[in-house]
């Protein structure tokens, strides 16, 4: 400055311009260098991203074996060739990057990369066999683990390049994201395969559990049915025992006393009194015969065996309603079917109980008994247009009639049937039951037995 | 079975049985045998009441009856009158019931259908 000022001084403006030019050139050179380095870094990162993609594809190559047509022997050379080409591309890219001032992290990529490629090569025969099982899962896990490790190394290297050229960071991140996406895609593919299998097993498990649940429910129903059947049978035995005690045993023991008395009178020569006593004893025995026949009919109406259910129901209506003003129609013409003896007895007793109720509570009613087929079931309806009653009336206020209804219902349900009651004061009464139909062979075998006897 | 003080002179007999036919015949037979038949009672409670009121020498009791059964009635009667002769005449022939009857001091336990002579013996022996 001072020199310029003393001698033939340069123009101040020229000096400033010169310095600015130098600075500008230096800055430009620096910028160009920086841009070159950034571009190199970006290129390296793109290359690494490509390696990541290629590596993922390399691992995926064996999976193509499952989709390709042809035998394993035909697929193997094609797939092996693809693997080799892919591997070669990866290695050449990495070599190129190593030669161009790589970051320290790039040196650590080699081993995991080799492991991933080895796993891919090892998986080829397994995928060619296209079998699902422990071996396939083992290979799958191995490939997943090695691929993950290799991609992690590549990601680290990518990050190192990124730190040298922060402008490329986003691209690096994008590359990483792409790698992660591919990774997820690859594992998703594997997962779907195993998931499909698991879903099938789950579906089978659900079906089995459902079937098991239904089976348990059926067993519980059968146990309950058996229990109720045993209870009803026990109640029936108790009732029959009481009937025998109160009826035949009392009358017959009275007859034995009568014979003792008769004997005394004959010994004393009281012939007139003896004759009177004989007549009393005879009358008593006749009454007892009627009583025993009634008990027998309640246990198993003989007409069911002598004729059929329809005739038995007609007979039942005649007997129960004899002497009453109840008019009753019995229609069993459409139900020309043989039931098992148990079901016949249930139908007979239900009808009898219902008609006894009609006679008792609706003495001037018009009633009907209808037995008809209903699909695989039988429907029995006993209807009257009598006074009806309030279904909600407590048990204790019905003179025992409700107990009869309960017994009727239990009897029906004990053989797997349903029972329903529809009534209201002034609206008549309708009792409807449905029963399962037994096979004809059940009734046929009984009839055969009867004929044989 | 034990024999009470009235064992040799049981001529007044109370009949307790809920079955009309049997009771009617039993009354006729005992009357024919020369017993003075009291009552009869148609259930256990009535039997207890008539036993207290009529003081019979012996009582022929059924076991299964509505309300108070024969064994329970016999126990009450025995408590009030230890000397009365109790003869059970039942359709049941269970050993347990026989032992219960014996335990309360019954003179005999007969099953319906037995010979008349057995019943008479039980009342007068």
Please give the ipTM for the structure prediction. Answer: 0.76
Is A382 strand, coil or helix? strand
Distance CA A87, CA A74 (A): 21
Give the model's pLDDT for residue A165: 47
User: Above 50 in pLDDT, residue B41?
Assistant: yes
DSSP letters along B67-91, please?
A: SS-HHHHHHHHHHH-TTSEEEEEES
Give the model's pLDDT for residue B43: 94
Considering only CB atoms, A260 lies closest to which of B24, B29, B64, namely: B29
Considering only CB atoms, B32 lies closest to which of A252, A253, A264, namely: A264
Give the model's pLDDT for residue A25: 62
- What's the pLDDT tens digit per position in A57-101? 776 666 666 666 777 777 778 777 877 887 887 778 777 777 765
Sign of CA dihedral A333, A338, A341, A343: negative
**Which of chain A's residues have a Cβ under 8 Å away from the Cβ of B33?**
264
**Which of chain B's residues have a Cβ under 8 Å away from the Cβ of A245?**
64, 91-92
Burial of residue A370 (CB within 10 Å: 0-12, 13-18, 19+) is: middle
DSSP letters along A231-259, please?
A: HHHHHHHHHHHHHHIIIIIHHHHHHHHHH
In contact, B54 and B81? CB cutoff 8 Å: no
Does the beta carbon of B103 lie under 8 angstroms from any beta carbon of chain A? no
Give the model's pLDDT for residue A134: 66
Burial of residue A257 (CB within 10 Å: 0-12, 13-18, 19+) is: buried
Give the model's pLDDT for residue A341: 81
Residue with tokens 């239904």: A214
Mean pLDDT of chain B: 88
Give the model's pLDDT for residue A366: 95
Distance CA B65, CA B49 (A): 15
Q: What angle do CA A178, A182, A185 make, to 5 degrees?
A: 140
Considering only CB atoms, B91 lies closest to which of A253, A258, A260, namely: A253
Residue of higher predicted confidence among A308 and B47: B47
Residue A432 β-bridge partners = A381, A420
* H or E stretch covering B54: helix B44-54
Give the model's pLDDT for residue B12: 94
Kindly identify which residue of chain B lies nearest to residue A256, measuring between CA atoms.
B113
Distance CA A415, CA A350 (A): 13
| Residue B35 pLDDT level (bands cut at 50, 70, 90) | very high
- The tens place of each residue's pLDDT in chain A, 453 residues long, gives 333 334 344 566 566 556 656 655 655 565 566 566 667 777 777 777 777 777 777 766 666 666 667 777 777 787 778 778 878 877 787 777 777 656 666 667 777 778 877 877 777 777 677 665 667 667 777 777 777 777 777 777 776 666 554 444 444 444 544 554 555 555 555 555 666 766 777 777 778 778 888 888 877 777 777 777 777 777 778 878 888 888 888 889 999 999 999 999 999 999 999 999 999 899 888 888 888 888 887 777 777 777 788 888 888 899 899 899 999 999 887 656 677 888 888 898 899 989 999 999 999 999 999 998 888 888 999 999 999 988 776 544 445 556 678 878 888 887 888 999 999 999 999 999 998 876 333 333 333 333 222
Give the model's pLDDT for residue A14: 64
Distance CA B64, CA A163 (A): 109
Distance CA A125, CA A65 (A): 9
* H or E stretch covering B41: strand B36-41
* H or E stretch covering A121: helix A110-129
Tokens of A33: 């260098």
Give the model's pLDDT for residue B24: 92
Cα R_g (chain B), whole angstroms: 13
Q: What angle do CA A222, A228, A234 make, to 5 degrees?
A: 135
B67: left (phi over 0), alpha (psi -120 to 50) or beta: left
DSSP letters along A151-187, please?
A: HHHHHHHHHHHHHH-GGGHHHHHHHHHHHHHHHHHHH
Considering only CB atoms, A246 lies closest to which of B19, B33, B117, namely: B19
Give the model's pLDDT for residue A167: 43
Which of A57, A56, A43 has its CA nearest to residue A93? A43
Measure CA of the first residue to CA of the last residue in chain B; give whole Å: 11
Give the model's pLDDT for residue B26: 94
Q: Would you tell me how many other CB atoms lie within 10 Å of the CB of residue A153?
A: 21
Kindly determine whether residue B26 and residue A257, on different chains, have CB atoms separated by under 8 Å. yes
Is A331 strand, coil or helix? strand
Interface test with B, best of A244, A250, A287 (most B CBs within 10 A): A250
Kindly identify which residue of chain A lies nearest to residue B63, measuring between CA atoms.
A245
pTM (predicted TM-score): 0.47
User: What mean pLDDT comes out for the span B61-76?
Assistant: 92
Kindly determine whether residue B22 and residue A251, on different chains, have CB atoms separated by under 8 Å. yes
In contact, A235 and B3? CB cutoff 8 Å: no
Interface test with A, best of B18, B21, B63, B119 (most A CBs within 10 A): B21
């Amino acid at each position: 400055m001072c020199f310029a000022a003393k001698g033939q001084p340069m123009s101040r403006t020229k000096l400033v311009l010169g310095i600015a030019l130098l600075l500008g050139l230096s800055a430009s050179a620096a910028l160009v260098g920086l841009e070159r380095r950034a571009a190199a870094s970006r290129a390296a990162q793109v290359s690494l991203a490509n390696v990541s993609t290629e590596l993922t594809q390399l691992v995926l190559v064996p999976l193509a074996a499952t989709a390709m047509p042809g035998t394993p022997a035909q697929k193997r050379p094609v797939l092996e060739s693809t693997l080799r080409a892919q591997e070669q591309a990866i290695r050449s890219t990495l070599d190129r990057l190593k030669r161009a001032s790589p970051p320290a992290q790039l040196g650590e990529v080699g081993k995991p990369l080799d492991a991933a490629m080895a796993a891919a090569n090892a998986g080829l025969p397994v995928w060619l066999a296209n079998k699902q099982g422990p071996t396939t899962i083992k290979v799958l896990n191995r490939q997943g683990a090695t691929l993950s490790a290799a991609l992690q190394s590549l990601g680290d290297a990518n990050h190192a390049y990124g730190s040298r050229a922060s402008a490329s960071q986003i691209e690096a991140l994008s590359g990483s994201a792409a790698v992660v996406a591919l990774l997820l895609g690859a594992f998703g593919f594997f997962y779907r395969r195993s998931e499909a299998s698991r879903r099938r097993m789950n579906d089978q498990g659900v079906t089995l559990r459902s079937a098991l649940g239904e089976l348990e429910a059926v067993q519980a129903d059968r146990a309950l049915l058996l229990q109720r059947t045993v209870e009803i049978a026990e109640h029936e035995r108790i009732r029959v025992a009481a009937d025998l005690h109160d009826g035949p045993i009392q009358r017959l023991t009275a007859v034995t006393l009568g014979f003792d008395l008769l004997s005394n009178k004959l010994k004393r020569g009281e012939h007139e009194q003896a004759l009177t006593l004989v007549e009393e004893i005879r009358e008593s025995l006749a009454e007892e015969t009627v009583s025993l026949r009634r008990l027998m009919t309640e246990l198993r109406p003989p007409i069911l065996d002598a004729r059929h259910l329809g005739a038995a129901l007609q007979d039942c209506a005649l007997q129960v309603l004899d002497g009453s003003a109840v008019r009753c129609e019995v229609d069993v013409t459409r139900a020309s079917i043989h039931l098992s003896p148990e079901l016949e007895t249930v139908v007979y007793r239900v009808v009898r109980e219902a008609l006894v109720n009609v006679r008792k509570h609706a003495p001037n009613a018009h009633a009907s008994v209808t037995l008809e087929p209903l699909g695989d079931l039988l429907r029995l309806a006993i209807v009257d247009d009598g006074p009806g009653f309030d279904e909600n009336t407590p048990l204790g206020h019905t003179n025992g009639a409700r107990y009869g209804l309960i017994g009727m219902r239990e009897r029906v349900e004990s053989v797997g049937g349903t029972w329903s009651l529809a009534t209201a004061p002034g609206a008549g009464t309708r009792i409807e039951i449905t029963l399962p139909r037994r096979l004809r062979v059940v009734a046929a075998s009984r009839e055969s037995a009867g004929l044989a006897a | 079975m034990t024999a009470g003080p009235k064992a040799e002179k049981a001529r007044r007999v109370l009949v307790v049985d809920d079955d009309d036919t049997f009771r009617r015949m039993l009354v006729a037979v005992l009357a024919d045998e020369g017993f003075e038949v009291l009552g009869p009672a148609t259930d256990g409670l009535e039997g207890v009441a008539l036993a207290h009121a009529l003081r019979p020498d012996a009582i022929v009791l059924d076991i299964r009856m509505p309300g108070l059964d024969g064994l329970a009635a016999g126990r009450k009667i025995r408590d009030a009158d230890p000397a009365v002769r109790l003869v059970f005449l039942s359709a049941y022939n269970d050993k347990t019931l026989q032992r219960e009857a014996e335990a309360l001091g019954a003179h005999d336990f007969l099953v319906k259908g037995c010979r008349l002579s057995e019943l008479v013996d039980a009342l007068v022996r």
